[in-house]
């Protein structure tokens, strides 16, 4: 729920008082989101703010949290939903989607529901924006009315998700103003007036001054109470790229303890992920405390029931502002427009306030990108540069984004998951490429999770979350078919997991069907991951492409230097083999960090299929094509 009464600490004198919204009961909007990475949630929260400024009674929530019977109670329901996996709905939308698919629902049961949707997708995937499109179809089948044209955003579009959303939301705002005019002489709440906070921190009375460093270090050892999480022990944290290679890639092995008596064993399968929860450094947290002038309350206890907290905020019942800044609030993220708008209200310098507001306006979108996204400017840096911003401490949770866990594909499978040293225990492996680079401003950047992983020592006990794969590509109906894996870099992890699963699944029966791995990397010497594994899998043929092959010293014996090669080149070279695997109903698993690679591989496979364009498309549509690109 979005709306809360103002309260807590004194608001800075430079900031205007929050608006009295005068929400009108006959004008209500429900904004529901389904999101895996947070983009849909951010857009949903922005739509909620738009609705509040138009003086609607507005609520924003995950799709799974709502009953179908609640939908007719609102003037308009807005669905914001991402497409994940192979045209699937996100996990936090799957429950509502399942309810909508119930056969016993009569065709006109949602006849009094007015709705619109905004879908987020990626055209490099075969099923672009399927989640939003099938949601619209099902709602209309049940009698709901699409009162405003639904919008779609493509992550590959030159204007990005943000630009496409802004154009759609501007039209939506005009529609709402015209269709639901504000009665009684009221006006929309101006952009330069802050809205009431959704979440307010309330500090216990008493001394909240800084604690000794020993207390802060003890606080760092407190484990994040992740809902449905498990505590694992780090067995090893090994660099698997050559020391001279520019990128540090880690293989992390975690030991999962045996289940409690009577509890089921954790079932780990190919495609599943392990989520890590990084944290900020105490030094960065202290910098925010100093910038904002929060020293007097930084260590005061905050008692707050979990029932009224934002999604994905994991804390104990009692915590402190410092604890939030270290463990929960993403102070090193590149800020979204909503963050800049929020802090603008608390800038005492008029020029700084106006500049922050400019970044949030549609006509200044390019300037927003130039200032934040392109140089990867962080929230911490912006607070330093806009020094007149003094955010009230009770608004910290309402303003800063929450740190989201980082998902990593399981890299092992089958018998390799067993850990015989401790009966019933399991060992799971993940591969992580640490992010370190220089921005266009020549500032060094280290990813939040990368810094966290680099600092993890063997023996560390950490909370993680296991998520089952949304798209299943293993099991009796799949394991007996040929496999074509195409992977670049660390994208080989889920393919490796599936290969070892197949090896174990067939160990007591017949040999597994043939598998082909088209694996792209820079050079054999630097990042040919898991090279020792592949000879141990007799059913596997590995085709390698080196994009930066190492040239031996001296003139080449044949007069030619090694040629750069990419996975799509291998597929074209082996087009006859690929065409035969298509005819044999092979499964295609495409994994890596490049959308261009995924498109190039798709084009190469279509060329291998042959025939005219219509025939190629028909055959390709019939493939089990599973794509995991990040």
Residue 449 among known ligand-binding residues: yes
Residue 122 among known ligand-binding residues: yes
Residue 337 among known ligand-binding residues: no
Give burial (CB, 10 Å; 0-12/13-18/19+) of 446.
middle
CA 260/CA 340 separation, integer angstroms: 47
Residue 85 among known ligand-binding residues: yes
Tally the C-alpha atoms within 13 A of residue 52's C-alpha that lie toward its C-beta: 23
DSSP string computed for 408-458:
EEB---GGGGB-TTSTT-EEEEEEEEPPEEE-TTS-EEE-HHHHHHHT--T
Residue 376 among known ligand-binding residues: yes
Tally the C-alpha atoms within 13 A of residue 320's C-alpha that lie toward its C-beta: 25
DSSP string computed for 343-364:
HHTTBSSHHHHHHHHHHTSGGG
Residue 582 among known ligand-binding residues: no
Residue 36 among known ligand-binding residues: yes
Distances 26 to 57, 75, 183, 306 between C-alpha atoms, Å: 8, 8, 11, 30
Residue 27 among known ligand-binding residues: no
Residue 593 among known ligand-binding residues: no
Phi, psi dihedral angles at 32 (to 5 degrees) = -115, 140
Residue 120 among known ligand-binding residues: yes
Helices vs strands, H then E, count in the chain: 20, 21
Residue 82 among known ligand-binding residues: yes
Residue 566 among known ligand-binding residues: yes
Residue 280 among known ligand-binding residues: no
Residue 488 among known ligand-binding residues: no
Residue 471 among known ligand-binding residues: no
DSSP string computed for 137-187:
HHHHHTT-EE-S--EEEETTSTTHHHHHHHHHHHHHHHHHHHHS---TT--
Residue 264 among known ligand-binding residues: no
Residue 548 among known ligand-binding residues: yes
Residues 314 and 225: beta-carbon distance below 8 Å = yes
DSSP state of 70: G
Residues 252 and 432: beta-carbon distance below 8 Å = yes
Residue 567 among known ligand-binding residues: yes
Residue 129 among known ligand-binding residues: yes
Residue 21 among known ligand-binding residues: no
Residue 492 among known ligand-binding residues: no
Residue 155 among known ligand-binding residues: yes
Distances 104 to 100, 107, 142, 293 between C-alpha atoms, Å: 10, 9, 11, 58
**Minimal CA–CA distance to 401: which of 306, 319, 336, 447?**
336
| Lookup result for tokens 């807590």 | 8
Residue 37 among known ligand-binding residues: yes
Residue 547 among known ligand-binding residues: yes
Residues 513 and 481: beta-carbon distance below 8 Å = yes
- Structure token pair of residue 391: 């955010």
Give burial (CB, 10 Å; 0-12/13-18/19+) of 414.
buried
Helix axes 130-141, 91-100, angle to 10 degrees: 30
Phi, psi dihedral angles at 490 (to 5 degrees) = -70, -5
CA 379/CA 525 separation, integer angstroms: 39
CA 340/CA 346 separation, integer angstroms: 10
Q: By three-state DSSP, how is residue 27 classified?
A: strand
Q: By three-state DSSP, how is residue 553 classified?
A: coil
CA 324/CA 280 separation, integer angstroms: 10
Q: Are strands 406-409 and 273-276 parallel, antiparallel or unpaired?
A: antiparallel
CA 589/CA 625 separation, integer angstroms: 6
Residue 83 among known ligand-binding residues: yes
Element (H, E) at 33: strand 24-34
Phi, psi dihedral angles at 426 (to 5 degrees) = -130, 150
Residue 518 among known ligand-binding residues: no
Residue 357 among known ligand-binding residues: no
Residues 16 and 345: beta-carbon distance below 8 Å = yes
**Minimal CA–CA distance to 135: which of 116, 112, 114?**
116
- Annotated binding residues for FMN: 35-40, 82-85, 120-129, 155
Q: Which residues are annotated binding-site positions?
A: 35-40, 82-85, 120-129, 155, 376, 406-409, 447-450, 490, 547-548, 564-568, 630
Annotated binding site for FAD: 376, 406-409, 447-450, 630
Q: Which residues are annotated binding-site positions for NADP(+)?
A: 490, 547-548, 564-568
């Amino acid at each position: 729920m979005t709306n809360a009464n103002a309260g807590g600490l004194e608001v800075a004198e430079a900031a205007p008082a929050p608006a009295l919204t005068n929400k009108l009961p006959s004008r209500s909007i429900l904004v529901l989101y389904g999101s895996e990475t947070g983009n849909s949630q951010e857009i949903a929260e922005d739509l909620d703010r738009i609705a509040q400024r138009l003086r609607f009674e507005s609520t924003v929530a995950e799709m799974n949290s709502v009953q179908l019977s609640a939908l007719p109670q609102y003037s308009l329901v807005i669905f914001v939903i991402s497409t994940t996996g192979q045209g699937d709905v996100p996990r936090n939308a799957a429950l509502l989607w399942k309810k909508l698919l119930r056969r016993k629902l009569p065709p006109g049961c949602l006849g009094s529901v007015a709705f619109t949707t905004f879908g987020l997708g990626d055209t490099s995937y075969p099923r672009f924006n399927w989640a939003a499109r099938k949601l619209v179809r099902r709602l209309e089948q049940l009698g709901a009315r699409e009162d405003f044209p639904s919008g779609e955003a493509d992550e590959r579009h030159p204007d990005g998700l943000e630009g496409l959303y802004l154009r759609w939301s501007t039209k939506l705002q005009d529609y709402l103003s015209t269709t639901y005019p504000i009665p009684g002489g009221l006006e929309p709440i101006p952009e330069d007036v802050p809205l009431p906070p959704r979440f307010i921190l309330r500090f216990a009375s008493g001394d909240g001054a800084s604690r000794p460093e020993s207390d802060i270090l003890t606080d760092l050892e407190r484990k994040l109470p992740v809902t449905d999480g498990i505590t694992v022990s780090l067995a090893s944290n090994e660099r698997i790229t050559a020391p001279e290679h520019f990128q540090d890639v880690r293989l992390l092995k975690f030991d999962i303890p045996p289940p409690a008596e009577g509890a089921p064993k954790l079932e780990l399968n190919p495609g599943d992920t392990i989520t890590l929860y990084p944290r900020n450094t105490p030094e960065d947290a202290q910098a925010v405390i100093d910038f904002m002038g929060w020293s007097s309350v930084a260590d005061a206890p905050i008692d707050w029931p979990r029932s009224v907290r934002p999604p994905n905020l994991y804390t104990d019942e009692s915590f402190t502002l410092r604890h939030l800044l270290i463990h929960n609030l993403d102070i090193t993220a590149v800020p979204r427009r909503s963050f800049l708008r929020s802090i603008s209200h608390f800038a005492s310098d008029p020029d700084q306030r106006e500049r922050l507001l400019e970044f949030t306006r549609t006509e200044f979108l390019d300037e927003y990108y130039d200032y934040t996204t392109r140089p990867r400017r962080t929230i911490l840096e912006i607070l330093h540069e806009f020094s007149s911003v003094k955010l009230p401490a009770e608004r910290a949770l309402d303003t800063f984004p929450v740190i989201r866990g980082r998902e990593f594909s399981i890299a092992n499978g089958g018998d390799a998951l067993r850990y015989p040293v401790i009966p019933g225990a399991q060992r799971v492996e993940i591969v992580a490429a640490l992010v370190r680079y220089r921005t266009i401003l020549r500032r060094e950047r280290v990813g939040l999770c990368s810094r966290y992983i680099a600092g993890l020592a063997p023996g560390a006990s950490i909370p993680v979350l296991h998520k089952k794969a949304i798209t299943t590509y293993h099991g009796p109906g799949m394991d007996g078919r040929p496999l074509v894996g195409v992977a670049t870099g660390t994208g080989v992890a889920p393919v490796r997991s599936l290969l070892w699963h197949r090896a174990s699944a067939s160990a007591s029966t017949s040999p597994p069907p043939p598998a082909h791995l088209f694996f792209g990397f820079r050079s054999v010497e630097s990042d040919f991951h898991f090279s020792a594994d592949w000879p141990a899998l007799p059913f596997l043929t590995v085709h390698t492409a080196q994009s930066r092959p190492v040239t031996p010293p001296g003139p080449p014996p044949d007069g030619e230097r090694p040629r750069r090669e990419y996975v799509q080149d291998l597929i074209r070279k082996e087009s006859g083999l690929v065409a035969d695997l298509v005819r044999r109903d092979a499964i295609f698993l495409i994994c890596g960090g490049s959308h261009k690679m995924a498109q190039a591989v798709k084009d190469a496979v279509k060329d291998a299929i042959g025939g005219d364009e219509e025939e190629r498309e028909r055959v390709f549509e019939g493939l089990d094509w599973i794509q995991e690109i990040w």
